[in-house]
Structure 1
Amino acid sequence: MIKFFRKIRQKMLTENKFSKYLIYAIGEIVLVVIGILIALQINNWNQSNQNKKQEKQILTQLLEEYQSNLNQINSKIFIRNEILASSIKLLAYRNLESTLINIDSLDRNLSRTITRPTFDPELSVSNELTNSGKLYLITNAELRKKISAFPSSLSELKEEEIITVNLVEERFYLFLMEHYQIGRLNIEFLDDEKFRKMVTQITFNKEKSLKDLFEPSDPTQLLKHPDFEDYLSLIIVNTTYTNDQSIGVKYKIEKIIDLISKELKK
């Protein structure tokens, strides 16, 4: 084809038809430009299709990631609500005669108050998008912004979780060991199957209780100790505030899931 056009040009030049040659040359240039534009358009179309396929794959992975995070945050909120309920029940025990106190129930509620739930989100897909610079593949600007901002929105929740963990591990648990026999208390956590499943995210086979290996402890000293009330009040306040933060994070996750779902339906 190139040889064919070259022969036509040479023929026009030899015949001294310069004006016709000029028109022909311009036409040839126009054809070349059109060809380039068509090639670019095809390339852009192919790239756009490829980006759309990548975006759909990324959105599917993100949906799975944030749905997992939503399940986890709901689980943590449930656990903290159980901790709050147990703390309130323990405060009520202080007004009962020792003979009216069910030790198994007391131990179970105590075991729940020393639980330290923390939200540990799965963000591998989100981080990979940000670190690799591929976040641009998500065409929805609002969704891009929320995914990019989500990790930084966890800082206050993390701070509150750390405060509660330190309170329980460094102070309250040691206080219980000093004023109460905690053997049966610890076993109650193992026997509390529904609650343990929520805490560990693992389904366990039914196990024989080890409770009989430990003698019941008299709770009088613990319940009447003034610091016991103080610790429970701190746990209630900290847990309530941490749950407030968790609910805020939950709303952010639900918004991201909603945006992703709408994009996938397009």
Structure 2
Amino acid sequence: MIKFFRNTRKQLFTENKFTKYLFYAIGEIILVVIGILIALQINNWNNQRLEKEDENKSYRNIKRQIEDDRKELTDVKAFNNYFSATYKHANKIIRAQDFTKSDSLALIAMGLSQYSDFNSSGNIYETLVNSGNLKLLKNDEITSLIQQLENTYIFANKLETIHWEIIINELSPALRGVVNFDAFKAVKPERLYEVEMQNIFVESIYLTSAKDSVYSKAIREIDTIINLINTELGAVKD
């Protein structure tokens, strides 16, 4: 093809057909430019395709992580709510000063040492920033919600830390010498009905209620993010 164009130029030039040669040269330049533009466009399309593949890969990775988080959140939420219900029952026993249920109260008091502890699958937003993959995600709403979700995780973990501090600093001293942990019996049952012990139950009720709200908030945020990611992926599920 190149040889054909070269021969044509030579023939026109030698035949002194300068005008035709000029038009031909211009046409050849236009063809070359068009060829370059087409090559650039193909390369641009290919780059966009690769970027979209990387973006979708990041979305799928995020989706897998937050789906794992959702499962754990559901489990710890159920665990938290179970103990919250028992604390409310214990508070009713104390209010009623029902000493016939001192052993049940002792068991529930021992259960105060159990608390829900959520562990996320990783710091998604921070990882995206550090890896440079954040710029791959074109949907700003998703990235904003991921950052918001991690802030919700942080708040949940703060509440869990407070819960642990209550167990160490308040519960342990209150139960020392009051409950026999080996026999699951109250050694000094009257102490379980005192205001100090009731206050620990009340604190735990409020704390577990706050944790439930935060866990629920995180689950809602995860569901929103998953729906947006599914839209980005063309509603194709993994």
TM-score, normalised relative to structure 2:
0.83
Identity of aligned residues (%): 28
Q: Deviations over 1:33-67 (max 9, x none)?
A: 11122222222333333334334433333222111
Whether the 8 Å contact between 1:55 and 1:138 is mirrored in structure 2 is yes
1:44-193 map, 5 Å: 44-94=44-94, 95-98=96-99, 100-101=100-101, 103=103, 105-123=104-122, 127-184=126-183
Question: Secondary structure at 1:150's aligned position in 2?
Answer: helix
After superposition, the C-alpha distances for 1:110-163 in whole angstroms (9 at most, x for unaligned) are 233221322221136654433222234344332233224432343333322222
Q: Distance in 2 between matches of 1:43 and 1:76?
A: 49
What is the alpha-carbon distance in structure 2 between the residues aligned to residue 5 and residue 248 of structure 1? 70
**2:24 aligned residue:** 24
Closer/same/farther in 2, CA of residues 242 and 148 from structure 1, 3 Å limit: closer
| SS in structure 2 of the partner of residue 183 of structure 1 | coil
Number of residues of Structure 1 aligned to a counterpart in Structure 2: 234
Matching of residue 253 in structure 1 with residue 222 in structure 2: yes
- 1:143 and 1:256 in contact (8 A); partners too: yes
Q: Is the 8 A contact 2:106 2:179 kept in 1?
A: no
Q: What's the C-alpha RMSD, in Å, of the aligned pairs?
A: 2.6
Distance 1:184 1:31 in 2: 93
Q: Distance in 2 between matches of 1:148 and 1:13?
A: 68
Instruction: Say if 2:125 and 2:143, in contact at 8 Å, map to a contact too.
Output: no
217-226 or 36-45, which deviates more: 217-226
Q: Which runs of 4+ in 1 moved over 4 A?
A: 124-127
1:48 maps to a residue whose letter is: Q
Residue-by-residue CA offset, 1:177-219 (whole Å, 9 max, x unaligned): 243222345xxxxxxxxxxxxxxxxxxxxxxxxxxxxxx3335
Q: 1:233–1:124: structure 2 CA closer, same or farther, 3 Å change rule?
A: closer
Match of 2:212 in 1: 243
Find the residue that maps to 2:186 and give its secondary structure. coil
| Structure 2: tracts of 5 or more residues without a match | none
What is the CA–CA distance in structure 2 between the aligned matches of 1:150 and 1:12, rounded to whole Å?
Answer: 72
Whole-Å separation in 1 of the counterparts to 2:136 and 2:26: 40
CA shift in 2, pair 1:50/1:234, >3 Å: same
- The structure-2 alpha-carbon separation of the partners of 1:58 and 1:233, relative to structure 1 and needing over 3 Å to count, comes to same
Q: Which runs of 5+ in 1 are unaligned?
A: 186-215
Q: d(CA) in 1 for partners of 2:114 and 2:213?
A: 18
| Contact 2:55-2:136 within 8 A present in 1 as well | yes
* 2:73 partner amino acid: I
CA distance in structure 2 between the aligned counterparts of 1:245 and 1:180, rounded to whole angstroms: 32
